[in-house]
Chains A and B, each alone.
Chain A
Amino acid sequence: KQEVTQIPAALSVPEGENLVLNCSFTDSAIYNLQWFRQDPGKGLTSLLLIQSSQREQTSGRLNASLDKSSGRSTLYIAASQPGDSATYLCAVSRTGANSKLTFGKGITLSVRP
């Protein structure tokens, strides 16, 4: 059974800092991995999707990497801003697609002005 772990559960950094959020998964037979952002009381917004054949994806100040063999993904946020404060979740889908996604419990990020 796939398990997705995100540690630490919470993180507080000063504005402007570059930071890395980690995601690990136990079964490397994944179809893709997604990173999401969730603001309090809101739904999830997809940030980046990495297919299993890819190593990384970039969008603006965000960069996500994937290392299937080690079961790890990282989300890099450059020059963090208070508006980046949110919960960040990663989710993996199994090989074969069209099936269940398994989510991590998320990392709650607070960026201090």
Chain B
Amino acid sequence: EAQVTQNPRYLITVTGKKLTVTCSQNMNHEYMSWYRQDPGLGLRQIYYSMNVEVTDKGDVPEGYKVSRKEKRNFPLILESPSPNQTSLYFCASTILGIGELFFGEGSRLTVL
């Protein structure tokens, strides 16, 4: 089954404690992206990647890092989480040329 898998789905952490949200897709997609969704602000792009070792900033990259060492994986790293990073995070993937976008189920992160 074609899918984008995110882990963890729910996480409560404390300010400053490094964490990683993993994202994996099984569709051999070149393009992968991370979004955060906040009430009243909608979906905003954090980072995206067009292929292995190729990443670029989205609209709200501050406080986040990503890496793309393998085609199927695109982890999101919060080196020193802060409360303003409390949000619902989505990973998505598609073919190169941005076709139909496939989303993961989301990861709800709370930073205390």
- Residues of A with Cβ closer than 8 Å to B? 31-32, 34, 36, 41-46, 49, 89, 91, 93, 97-101, 103-106
Contacts and interface: CB of A to CB of B under 8 A. Distances in A.
A44 B100 contact: no
Nearest to B35: A103
B100 A46 contact: yes
Contacts of A100: 45, 48, 58-59
Contacts of A101: 33, 45, 98, 101
Contact of B98 (A31, A43, A103): A31
B74 interface: no
Interface string B41-60: 11111001010000000110
A98 B31 contact: yes
A97 B35 CA distance: 18
Given A98-B31, A98-B50, A44 B103 contact: yes
Max chain B Cβ within 10 angstroms of own Cβ: one of A31, A100, A103: A100
Interface size grouping (class) on chain B? 20 to 34
B43 A89 contact: yes
B103 A98 contact: no
A106 B33 CA distance: 19
Contacts of A97: 96-98
A45 B50 contact: no
Contacts of A106: 42
A44 B90 contact: yes
A16 B59 CA distance: 39
Interface in B59-112: 59, 90, 92, 96-106
A95 B70 CA distance: 27
A4 to B, nearest CB: 9
